[in-house]
Amino acid sequence: MTTLVSISTLFCSEFGRIMIRSFMIFSILLSFQFMPAAYAASLGVSPVSLDLAANRRSATVRVENLGRSKASLQARMMKWTQVDGKNVLQPTQNVVVSPPLASIEPGVTYTFRILHKGKPTSGEETYRLLIDELPSVNVGRPSTSISMLVQQSIPVFFNNPDTLAKLTWDIKKTKNGYQLSATNSGNRHSKIADIKINNKLVKRGMAGYLLPGTTRTWPMAGSSFSKLKPGSTVTVTASGSDYGVKTDVTVGG
């Protein structure tokens, strides 16, 4: 009899736990039913960056509406600089985009035209084309819907063929550990990705742009980097815009 009671108690306890878990899952799924729907335009942009000759006066960017509803877009050209490793965008009239506003039906591809109105530069000019999705009223959507607006930021460069990026690398110890920095003393931008030190990852994927005359830093997280000694030499590797990076760097104190 004792054995039967124990089995019965165990069965009831396990059955109760199953019922509680089932109720919790049902409650979570039910809550999603009453959550406001989220809508976002799905835009395909080509090309994703423009690297143009300094004497070129125009270029085009194509935007395709991959979503199921009409997309209202605003296009703006911004002068692009970097201060203390951060991007700074300012309005410009030297380069303009036409048209500034567009409405694209689903499945339709629209072409924006970039026009350079200034004189050709002797070095490199750096801009960004911003394409913003504007909020729109759609009577077919429930009143509880949420519009997820997106922004495309497309790098645009005008440069002479003789411009060149020139990177120098440095490692210094800070109160938060070691940090790696790169300075571009050249007159052309550099795009950096997949930074490693002695084959140990510092930054996976896109690490950022270095515009001419700028410096960018990355923290060297991980126990392997904390063991570095000032005065020792390490090898820095990375993928660059036009070439791979592989250079020896002396660790600073």
Quote the CA–CA distance of 78 and 91 in Å, as a whole number.
5
Number of domains in the chain: 2
What are the pLDDT digits (tens) for 1-14? 444 344 344 334 45
Quote the CA–CA distance of 62 and 87 in Å, as a whole number.
24
One domain for residues 115 and 186: no
Label residue 42 by pLDDT band (50, 70, 90): confident
Quote the CA–CA distance of 196 and 74 in Å, as a whole number.
39
* Domain end among 159, 190, 224: 159
pLDDT at residue 50 above 80?
yes
What are the pLDDT digits (tens) for 118-164? 888 889 999 999 999 998 755 455 554 555 678 999 999 999 989 99
15 inside domain: no
- The stretch 38-67 carries a mean pLDDT of 89
Phi/psi at 134 (nearest 5 deg)?
Answer: -95, 145
What are the pLDDT digits (tens) for 216-236? 999 998 888 988 999 999 999
One domain for residues 78 and 180: no
Label residue 33 by pLDDT band (50, 70, 90): very low
31 inside domain: no
- The stretch 176-188 carries a mean pLDDT of 95
Phi/psi region, residue 208 (left: phi>0; alpha: psi -120 to 50; beta: rest), is: left
Which tops the pLDDT comparison, 78 or 21? Answer: 78
Report the pLDDT value the prediction gives residue 251, as an integer from 0 to 100: 97
6 inside domain: no
Quote the CA–CA distance of 184 and 212 in Å, as a whole number.
6
pLDDT at residue 26 above 80?
no
33 inside domain: no
182 inside domain: yes
Report the pLDDT value the prediction gives residue 3, as an integer from 0 to 100: 42
- The stretch 167-188 carries a mean pLDDT of 95
Report the pLDDT value the prediction gives residue 92, as an integer from 0 to 100: 97
Quote the CA–CA distance of 55 and 122 in Å, as a whole number.
10
236 inside domain: yes
Single-letter code of the amino acid located at 75: A
Quote the CA–CA distance of 157 and 235 in Å, as a whole number.
30
One domain for residues 42 and 114: yes
Q: Please give, one letter per residue, the 3-state secondary structure of 46-96.
A: ECCCEEEECCCCEEEEEEEECCCCCEEEEEEEEEEEEECCEEEEEECCCEE
55 inside domain: yes
Percentage of the chain beyond pLDDT 90 is 69
pLDDT at residue 52 above 90?
yes
CATH classification at residue 171: 2.60.40
- The stretch 50-70 carries a mean pLDDT of 95
One domain for residues 132 and 208: no
What are the pLDDT digits (tens) for 83-128? 999 999 999 999 999 999 999 999 999 999 999 998 888 899 999 9
- The stretch 202-222 carries a mean pLDDT of 95
Contact 114, 50 (CB under 8 A): yes
Quote the CA–CA distance of 247 and 3 in Å, as a whole number.
74
CATH classification at residue 77: 2.60.40.10
In this predicted structure, which of 27-31, 53-57, 94-98, 214-218 has the lowest mean pLDDT?
27-31
Report the pLDDT value the prediction gives residue 243, as an integer from 0 to 100: 73
**Predicted structure pTM score:** 0.78
One domain for residues 236 and 192: yes
Quote the CA–CA distance of 166 and 72 in Å, as a whole number.
41
* Domain end among 95, 129, 159: 159
> Domain range for residue 134?
38-159
One domain for residues 188 and 135: no
* Domain end among 117, 135, 159: 159
